[in-house]
Amino acid sequence: MLKALPRVVIIGGGFTAASLAVQLLRRSAQPLAITIIEPRERLGPGLAYSGADPDHRLNAPTGSHSLDPLDPLHLSRWCTADGLLQRDPEAAMPNGLLFIRRLDYGRYLEDSLRQQAAAVPAASLRHCQDRAVRLESVGGLWRVQTAGAETLFAEVVVLATGNPPPALQWSAQDGLSDHPRLITNPLLRPQLPQIDPDARVLVLGTALTAQDMISTLVRRGHRGPIVAVSRRALVPRPHAPELMGPVLPASLLQSSETPLDRIMRPLPDFLAPPVAPTALAWTRALRGRIAVLQAQGLSWHAAFDDLREAVWRAWPLLPGSEKRRFLRRLRPWYDVHRFRSVPFNDAIVARARAQGLLSFRRARLVALRAARKGQGLRVSLVAPGQSQVVEETFDWLINCTGLDPAAGIASNPVLASLRGQGDLVVDGSGIGIQVDPDCRVLGSDGRGRAGLFAFGPPTAGVFGDPLGALFISAQIHRALPGLLQALEDDPASRLACNARQPH
C-alpha cells in the first residue's frame, strides 16, 4: 500500500504562502501534500500584488524580493526569462537595478509556485479556492473547515492570512460605505475609477499607498487639486543615494554577502548591551551611528538598514511597555524610513507638488458625510494641537490609511475561531498573533500548539517587522526546520501537546 504523504495546509495564498510552499518543496526530504486555501482565483499575488495598475511598483529592487532567500537571484532570472524589460523598459534604473511592477511580481509568484510544484512530481500542490472559517485540533491532527463546507485534515497548518484589507471607520458609521465617490479600499480596484480630471480629491494618508494613488491620477492627466492628509504628513523617504546613482558602488557589486546573510548577522554593536533595550536608548544609539556614518560621507540609510535587518532580534528584547510606546509615538517615523519611495512615483509626486497640483497637510479626519449639493463628500479636518474644525468639500475621497493587523484577527473567521477556543491569543503589543521564536502559535495557556504555525504580517507584534517580502521569506527560512520536524512528530505527542491546559 502507498504511504500517504504528510499534509500541510496553508491558510491564505499570498506571498507568504508562495514563499513557504516553494521553500518546503525545495527543502523537504520527503514529498509533501500541500494545500493552499485562498479565495482568490490565483495563488501567489494575495492582497499586495493582485492589482493591475501599471503605475504601482515594488518599493525596492528585485534583489530583496526572491521567494527563496537561499536563491536571491531567483526573481532576476525570472525577469530575464520572462522578457519583462522589453515590455516595461522603465523598470530599469540607469544603474541596472530593477523596480518592477507589482502586477508582474504577482505573475512571478504565481509562475514560480507552479514551476516549483512541477519540479517535484512526487509532491502535490492543490489550490482550494475557498475561505477557511474554522480550525481545530482533533485526535492529533488539525481539521480545517471552509466556507464552501469542505473539511481538510493536516499534520501541519500554517496561518498566512496576511494584511487585512484597508478599511475606513467613517464609512460604516455614517452609512457611507456605498457612497460612489468614496474609495474605501483602493487595492480592490484594478484601476482608480474614472475620476473627472478636474475633480477635487482628498487622499487620506501620505505613505506609499497614497503615493501610488497620486501617481496614477497624475499620470492620467489629473488637473484638479489633490490634498493628502495625515496627522504628521510624513512621506516615505527616498532610497540611499548610493543606490540611486548612475553607477552602483563597487563595494556593493563585489560583496558576496546575500540579503539573508545580513539578516542573520548578530545585533549590531550600536544596539547591543550595554545599550538599554528601550525605544529612547535605541533612537539615540541610531542617531549616534548615523552621525558617525555621515562624518564618513555616507547617508543615514546604512545605519537604519542595520537596525531594520536586526529588528527580528531586537524587538523581542523590548519590554511590553516600550513596544507600546514605540507603536504609539515612533512608528510613523520608523515607517517612512523603512518603507522607501519608489523612485519613479517619487518624481511624479515631487513634480505635482512643485506645480501646485498636490499639497500635503497635517490633519486628522474627524467627520465625514455626503455633501448636500452635488455628489461629493463633506469632510471635517482638525490640525494637530488645534481645536478648530475645518470643513471642506471634495469630489472624491481615497482612503490610503495603513493596514490594521489587529483588526484582521477579529474580522477573520478562522483566526476568531482559534481565539474563541483558546488556541490563539493576541500578542502583548496588541497588533497580531502571539507565537514562539519558531513561529509556533501559542494558546491562552501559554503553550505552543504542535503543528500550528503563523508567518508574515500577523506576527508583527512578536518580531517587529516580518512585513516585507525579504523579511517574511527569511522568517520562514529560520522556522523551516521546526516545521519539517512537526511533520515527523507522532500524532499521540501532538494530541498530548494540544490538549488545552487550564490556566
C-alpha cell at 147: 466556507
Q: How many CB atoms lie within 10 A of CB 495?
A: 15
Question: For residues 486 and 473, what is the distance between their CA atoms, to the nearest angstrom?
Answer: 19
216 in contact with ligand FAD (CB under 6 A): no
Nearest residue to ligand FAD on Cβ basis? 162
Ranges within 460-489 binding ligand FAD (CB under 6 A): 467-469, 472
Kindly tell me which of 50 and 429 has the beta carbon lying closer to ligand FAD: 50
- Decide whether 130 or 392 has the Cβ nearer to ligand FAD: 130
Q: Which of 8, 9, 47, 307 binds ligand FAD (CB under 6 A)?
A: 47
Interaction between residue 39 and ligand FAD (CB under 6 A) = yes
For every residue of 260-272, DSSP letters joined together read HHHHHSPPPTTTS
Residues 231, 360: Cα–Cα separation, whole Å: 11
206-226 CB burial, b ≥16 within 10 A, e <16: bbbbbbbbbbbbbeeebebbb
Q: Which of 160, 226, 409, 433 binds ligand FAD (CB under 6 A)?
A: 160
Residue number with CB closer to ligand FAD (203 or 381): 203
**Region near ligand FAD per CB under 6 A, out of 11-19, 21-29, 245-253, 492-500:** 11-19
Q: Quick check: 75 binds ligand FAD (CB under 6 A)?
A: no
Q: Which is nearer to ligand FAD, 406 or 469 (CB)?
A: 469
236 binds ligand FAD (CB under 6 A): no
Instruction: Please say which residue, 417 or 444, places its beta carbon nearer to ligand FAD.
Output: 417
Concatenate the DSSP letters of all residues of 406-464 into one string.
Answer: HHHHHH-HHHHHHHHHTS--B-TTSSSB-B-TT-EEE-TTSPEEEEEEE-SGGGHHHHS
Regarding 162 and contact with ligand FAD (CB under 6 A), the answer is yes
Task: Assess 69 for contact with ligand FAD (CB under 6 A).
Answer: no
> Between residues 6 and 46, which has the closer beta carbon with respect to ligand FAD?
46
Does the protein bind ligand FAD through residue 341 (CB under 6 A)? no
Contact 263, 470 (CB under 8 A): yes
| Alpha-carbon span 205 to 208, nearest angstrom | 9
Strand ranges of the sheet holding 151-154, from the earlier edge strand across to the other edge: 132-138, 141-146, 151-154
Q: Which stretch binds ligand FAD (CB under 6 A): 54-62, 111-119, 218-226, 357-365?
A: 54-62
Residues contacting 422, CB < 8 A, separation 6+: 443, 444, 445, 500
Give yes or no for a contact between 160 and 11, defined as CB atoms under 8 angstroms apart. yes
Interface ranges with ligand FAD (CB under 6 A): 11-17, 37-40, 46-48, 58-60, 131-132, 160-163, 187, 209, 403, 412, 414, 456-457, 467-469, 472
